[in-house]
Amino acid sequence: MSPQPDTHTFQLQKHISIIDHQPLRMHCNCCALVSSSGHLTGSNRGDEIDRTGCVIRMNNAPNGNNFKQDVGRRTSLRVIAHSSVQRVLQRRQELLNANQDSVFLFWGPTSAMRRDGKGRVFNNLRLINQLLPKLKVYVISPLKMLEFDELFKNETGKDRKTSNSWLTTGWFTMAIALELCDRVNVYGMVAPDFCSTPSHLSVPYHYYEPSGPDECSLYLSHEHNQSGGHHRFITEKTVFANWAQKYDIHFYQPDWSPSSALNGSSSHTPAPAVS
């Protein structure tokens, strides 16, 4: 079953505060989901993003002065992978200064999120909370993590573990956005057929690492590698395009519509962004 916006309750029982174990309470009429893609460089979308009711970001993607023109400054929710916790710790003061009222939601494997002193990531989150007691830190519960795995299997027909697939932070963020938001405007996420086009634009994987790996090269490498654990970026984007035909999801920078992408031509422009 695909996720969908819940307009009847704003209490998300399976996203839990690390302090008082209370569920996350949050709801937005319209959300800007900002990716970390190099497609955002030079986009001048910052003001448009900041006018949106809620702004969702991923991992340690910066939104300070050097990037505000393209990605905006506001953050309502930041979804962070277990593998990015150390980078968040290193930039903790910068993130706090830029995101005074935002919620930080962390995800990770059950072994890393154990609360008995043996969970490496959970221990680091406790440290973050001690260093920054005003920070609103939540974790995705083990039960919810299993639901995300099951969602991947239901939508793709592939078992995440047996297919050696690692879910991306984008997967968690999109699914969570559909729980929180009535409408989702996604910035910087390409269509599933984008990288198969010979003339596609080459951009870095992260807008804040201009010398980093090429986005499409990374996507294709992970998508077709069957050994070891890899992200299935293109598979996930196909699912997102399918969801966008059912739910109020729109894609910008690059602008594309789900129907054209799934038909092999993603050149159409979606509805104008609204805040």
Tell me the per-residue pLDDT of 48-96, one tens digit each, with 9 for 90 and over: 999 999 999 999 899 888 999 999 999 999 999 988 877 777 776 666 6
For residue 69, give the 3-state DSSP assignment. helix
List the chain pLDDT tens, one digit each, 275 residues: 344 434 444 456 688 888 888 899 999 999 999 999 999 999 999 999 999 999 999 998 998 889 999 999 999 999 999 888 777 777 766 666 655 678 999 999 888 888 888 888 888 888 877 877 778 889 998 889 999 999 999 999 999 999 989 999 999 999 999 999 999 999 999 999 999 998 899 999 999 999 999 999 999 999 988 777 789 999 999 999 999 999 999 999 999 998 766 665 444 344 456 55
Structural domain boundaries of the chain?
A: 11-262
Tell me the per-residue pLDDT of 6-26, one tens digit each, with 9 for 90 and over: 444 445 668 888 888 889 999
User: Model's pTM, two decimal places?
Assistant: 0.88
- How far apart, in whole angstroms, are the C-alpha atoms of residue 128 and residue 57? 19
Which residue, among 122, 241, 251, 235, has the nearest Cα to 186 in the 3D structure?
Answer: 251
What is the side-by-side order of every strand in the sheet holding 11-17?
23-25, 11-17, 136-140, 103-107, 77-81, 54-58, 28-34, 181-187, 249-252
Measure Cα distances from 161 to 14, 158, 167 in Å: 22, 9, 10
Tell me the per-residue pLDDT of 209-219, one tens digit each, with 9 for 90 and over: 999 999 999 99
Which residue, among 132, 127, 123, has the nearest Cα to 102 in the 3D structure?
Answer: 132
Type of residue at 107? W
- 10 Å CB burial of residue 114 (0-12, 13-18, 19+) is middle
H helices present in 132-211, as ranges: 142-156, 169-180
Domain 11-262 architecture:
Alpha-Beta Complex (3.90)
Cis, peptide link before residue 254, omega less than 30° from 0: yes
